[in-house]
A = this chain, B = another copy of it.
Amino acid sequence: MRVEIINTGTELLLGRVTNTHLEFIARSLLGLGLRVERQVTVPDGVAIAEALEEAMARADLILVTGGLGPTSDDITRDAAAEAFGKKLIFHREILDGIAAKFARRKIQMNDMQRPQAMVPEGGTYFENHNGTAPGLTVENDKTVAVLLPGPPRELRPMWADQVLPWLRTKFADRLSPFHEITLRILGVGETRVQMLVEDEVKALGPIEVGYCARSGEVDLRLIASEEKLVAKAADLARAKLGEAVYAEGIETMEQVVVRLARAAGKTVATAESCTGGMVASRITNVPHSSEMFRYGWVTYANEAKITELGVPPSLLEKHGAVSAEVAQAMAEGALRGSHADVAVSVTGIAGPTGGTPEKPVGLVYFALATKTTKTQTLERNLSPTREIFRPMATQIALDLVRRALV
């Protein structure tokens, strides 16, 4: 069964917005055993109809995002109805629902909302609990298209609550799951991973091995139709790679940290300079992180390191803010101030300015303090590009916490 995605929206092709729909939908479809074979982004306009016609020639299921709203550039509904040769039928109950939403917010509904109540003949619709435009389906003998609203906050709940169950029923007799395990690896290079793993994994049986490298990390992807084979391959890879494997599947580093800390009943505190709150923000992005995270400091200025974390001024004078000594004092200060079980600190030079020949942009020190062990420090030279440096430094800080919690 072939699945394609069409993302519509001039703003995507102008680079105004990151397209996160592919990522979200593809992950979700994997659970049905469906892989997205192609994704295309087209601007608002005639290109939508063209892309639909091309996809209809190949695909069984087409997921279209965007262009369902009330403004003049929203033409996906019309383009899809035309491509499938279906009339649009007015559904009074949809317009009534939109009117009720406006009424609740004490705003007068205007006529521009009306096109959102049109549904292609023979199709169904999905209510939009976070906006006005409903999702729609339109189909012919060969292909089903599902039209979804563009804003993620509208699309995502609609997808999870309504579209996914509908797809499950609609294609019940055509879903043939396959099995996939992705191991997420920090600190071992891409070719090194391949050399350690690929030959032995492939000797196990028919299995697809893929690699995805990014910012100091590698994802190792194992796919096969047999579940046991994938599990065996993953075990083998884990044995070869050891603690460098920080997660499996879509679990993120911060999710691992929160999970391990909660399971161990331990709390974590953060003391950040160059990452400026990104470590805390990543941790607190995880639901239930309040059980294991209570205190974080963003001590961007030297003065803040002194007054908030008790870093001795003499240490700052002697070694500079970017030093193993100050990192250690920051982590220990955070541990004292928070009564946490584990505290991590980061201090470095994110750039673009502030570098010297001895301490270039990209240099960073970490420290990990716990109630029971000697404080550990780590020096790394990361990318001199600020937008790469900060996430990498954040990831390494989280990894130190993870290793302390394993």
A: which residues have CB within 8 A of B? 9-20, 22-28, 30, 35-44, 47, 51, 69-73, 110, 112-113, 130, 150-153, 156-157, 180, 182, 190-191, 194-195, 198, 209-215, 219, 221, 250, 270, 272, 274-281, 283-285, 287-290, 293-301, 303-304, 307-308, 337-338, 350-354, 383, 385-388, 390
Contacts and interface: CB of A to CB of B under 8 A. Distances in A.
This chain's copy number in the assembly: 2
Given A213-B69, A295-B300, A386-B287, A37 B30 contact: no
A284 B298 contact: yes
A72 B350 CA distance: 35
Contacts of A182: 14, 16
Contacts of A44: 210
B11 A15 contact: no
Contact of A297 (B10, B41, B297, B387): B297
Contacts of A350: 284
A82 to B, nearest CB: 20
A243 B213 CA distance: 43
Contacts of A13: 22, 26, 35-39
A196 B150 CA distance: 22
A385 B293 CA distance: 20
A32 B26 CA distance: 33
A96 to B, nearest CB: 18
B304 A300 contact: no
A300 B290 contact: yes
Contacts of A198: 72
Contact of A295 (B16, B301, B390): B301
A390 B281 CA distance: 10
A28 B16 CA distance: 11
A13 to B, nearest CB: 5
Contacts of A279: 277
A342 B19 CA distance: 34
